[in-house]
Amino acid sequence: MKKLSMMDTGFLLAESRETPMHVGGIHLFTLPPGADEQQFLRTLTHGLRSDDDLQSPFGDRLKMGRLGLAGPVHWEKEKSLDLEYHIRHSALPKPGRYRELFALASRLHGTLLDRNRPLWEMHIIEGLQNRQFATYSKFHHAAVDGARSMHLVQSMYSYDENARSECSAFSVESQRRYRAQLEKIRSEGMSDQELRNVAEALKELFDSGTHIFSSLKRYVRGWMGKGGALALPWQNVPRSSINTHVDGARRFVAQSWSFERIRAAGRAMDGTFNDAVLAMCAGGLRLYLQKHSELPEKSMKAMVPVSLRQKGDIDSSNAVGAISADLATDIADPIKRFRKIQSSMVAGKELFKGMKPKEAALMLQLIQAPGLLLMPLGLMGRLPPYNTIISNVPGPRQAMYWDGARLDGMYPASIVTEGIALNITLVSYDQNVDFGITACRRSMPQVQRLIEYMEQSLVELEQATGLVTPKPTADRKPIKAKRKVAKKKATKKKATKTVTEKVAKKTSKMTVVKR
């Protein structure tokens, strides 16, 4: 049996019907050329449901004592595993659009996992257009974090389109082969590209040890207003329509952008890829709240998770820290907004600089301690530590296949909590960045519009940095339109006048005749 860490148990303690604590998402595939959809998906499903010995967390369930979650909690092997319960086959009415796919994912993501069973599900979904199919998966956050999910993905799929599965993708044998592949990569001195973090995202800051006291001093100075650009949880976090009570229903939407396009925007400002992502999201949120007349006067803040996972660790359930980012939503100018975001990220990194992963995890627990009191009292909606969560999960940077079916996109679905009704998570895959946006259905019923506003925000940044030249006729179009309308009105008025005159003249003649 494997004991759950304090962080793992925390996700179980924080879960309620209104706040499910699982992560997952949609994987979109294109069928191999010439493959019959029904036969191909039946074969995949049969392979997944094989009786192989399953790797953690697929074959493990929770084991608690008399004290429940207040006592020690372990993972133990499930003796009567029902794979037909965990692996399900669904179909959209043909021809299925992405709208229906996301609607299905929204419903599935809003239901709790059964704690009497292993805490995961996979749904194989057919019925999409253009010979595509999808999977929706969810895993409890107590068992899997973002980095672990990427390891699972890479152990399930292959970079070779001709490769075929010889065992269940969930099996211990599949994990063993993946470990062997990692060892081969390291022994040959090859670039560990498919596992590395995006170079500019968040630099490796957690590889050397210093005492936590110096960081605590920076943290205290931040609360005293002497932290410079350092943003802290609960400090100057404005209230907004995003920071309200949530219920259990979810909305899920997704979109892909070019990786090089976003990275170019960051480089143009001497910033990182992650800085550009935050600026893009910040601008989108600003537009969204402006359209609803709900933009706070103070700048909004975001929690930005960072991986504390050591190289080669593919077993830990959770190894994650967090930086608080100032989104500068109170600034209209995209250049100034980017600079403020960039400064807050640099200050946040400095807070954890030089720490070992365990020290960083301890520091994070100290920072988040007020939430342990506020959450049980139901006060997180009134005193939110952040306005939203923006998480960047580095994924494989080249195309992958599942028994010959090309993986077209990975769209993550994450957690919405009390007081934080919006979660933006992205995965870098192949040439794209796949965004998955999860929101409380009641609090943000029109969250799909955020995608349009994020595109506008990115274009705004590209134009401000000279990457894209605005169309010279853009400002003239409304004027031309007004002139056309005015001309049309004048013509209509003249025509009406002419008709009136003719009627009056005719009436006059008729009157004369009557006399």
C-alpha closest to that of 337 among 284, 259, 273, 264 = 284
Asked whether residue 177 falls in the same domain as residue 217, the answer is no
User: Does 244 lie in the same domain as 102?
Assistant: no
Which residue shows structure tokens 């601008």? 283
Alpha carbons within 13 angstroms on the beta-carbon side of residue 220 total: 6
Of 438, 431, 434, the residue nearest 410 (C-alpha): 434
pLDDT at position 282 is: 98
Q: Mark whether 141 is an active-site residue.
A: yes
CATH of the domain at 25: 3.30.559
Q: How does DSSP classify residue 129?
A: S
User: What pLDDT, on the 0 to 100 scale, is given for residue 231?
Assistant: 77
Q: Describe the crossing of helices 6-13 and 357-367 by its angle, rounded to 10 degrees.
A: 30
The answer as to whether 432 is a domain residue is: yes
Alpha carbon distance 469, 464 (integer Å): 9
- The answer to whether the CB of 272 falls within 8 A of the CB of 200 is yes
3-state secondary structure of 262: helix
Q: Are 339 and 166 in contact (CB under 8 A)?
A: no
Same domain, 224 and 141: no
pLDDT tens, residue order, the chain (515 aa): 788 887 788 889 889 999 999 999 999 999 999 999 999 999 999 988 887 788 888 889 999 888 888 888 999 999 888 999 999 999 998 889 999 999 999 999 999 999 999 999 999 999 999 999 999 999 999 888 766 777 787 788 889 999 988 788 788 888 888 777 777 665 554 444 443 443 333 333 333 334 556 666 666 666 667 667 777 777 889 988 899 889 999 999 999 999 999 999 999 999 999 999 999 999 999 999 999 999 999 999 999 987 654 554 444 444 456 788 999 999 999 999 999 999 998 888 777 666 666 666 666 666 666 666 666 566 666 788 899 999 998 888 899 999 999 999 999 999 999 889 999 999 999 999 999 999 999 999 899 999 999 999 999 999 999 998 876 644 434 434 344 444 454 555 555 444 445 444 444 443 333 33
User: Which of 95, 88, 162 has its CA nearest to residue 120?
Assistant: 88
Same domain, 241 and 385: yes
In a domain, 449, yes or no: yes
Helix (H) or strand (E) holding 453: helix 449-464
Give the angle 37-38-40 at the CA atoms, nearest 5°. 65
Same domain, yes or no: 357 and 232 = yes
State residue 267's pLDDT score. 95
DSSP codes, 132-182: EEEEEEEEETTT--HHHHHHHHHHHSBS-TT---SS-TTBHHHHHHHHHHH
8 Å CB contact between 364 and 322: yes
Asked whether residue 158 falls in the same domain as residue 235, the answer is no
Cα(first)–Cα(last) distance of the chain, in Å? 113
H or E element, residue 106: helix 98-109
Is residue 149 included in any domain, yes or no? yes
CATH number at residue 399: 3.30.559.30
- Kindly state whether residue 508 falls inside one of the protein's structural domains: no
Cα 14–Cα 19–Cα 20 angle in degrees, nearest 5: 90
The distance between the two most distant Cα atoms of the chain, rounded to a whole number of Å, is 115
Whether residue 276 is found in the same domain as residue 373: yes
Domain limits at 410? 213-464
Contacts for 493 with CB less than 8 Å, ≥ 6 apart: none
Catalytic pick among 74, 141, 245, 292: 141
Boundary (domain end) residue, out of 447, 464, 481: 464
The answer to whether the bond into 334 is cis (omega within 30° of 0) is: no
User: What 3-state DSSP class applies to 259?
Assistant: helix
The residues near 102 (Cβ < 8 Å, ≥ 6 apart) are 26, 252, 253, 254
**Is residue 336 within 8 Å of residue 313, measured between CB atoms?**
no
Q: How far from 461 is each of 285, 335, 371, CA to CA, in Å?
A: 14, 7, 35
Q: Is residue 269 part of a domain?
A: yes
**Nearest one of 323, 285, 293 to 424, comparing CA atoms:** 285
pLDDT of 455: 97
What distance in Å separates the CA atoms of residue 84 and residue 104, rounded to the nearest whole number? 19
Spacing of C-alpha 47 from chain mean position: 29
369 found inside a domain: yes
Q: Is residue 513 part of a domain?
A: no
| Residue 304 structure tokens | 């930005």
- 251 Rama class: left (phi>0) / alpha (psi -120 to 50) / beta: beta
Same domain, 168 and 274: no
Phi, psi angle pair for 455, to nearest 5°: -65, -45
Provide the token pair at 243: 């920071």
Q: Is residue 439 part of a domain?
A: yes
| 8 Å CB contact between 40 and 48 | no
Does 238 lie in the same domain as 375? yes
Contact 137, 25 (CB under 8 A): yes
d(CA 428, CA 193): 12
Same domain assignment for residues 136 and 263: no
Residue 473 pLDDT: 47
The total of structural domains in the chain comes to: 2
Residues 243 and 386 placed together within one structural domain of the fold: yes
pTM over 0.85: no
Output the pLDDT for position 177.
81
What pLDDT is attached to residue 358? 65
Query: Are residues 259 and 174 located together in one domain of the fold?
Result: no
CB neighbour burial string for 61-72, b if at least 16 within 10 angstroms, e if fewer: bbebeeeeeeee
pLDDT on residue 291: 93
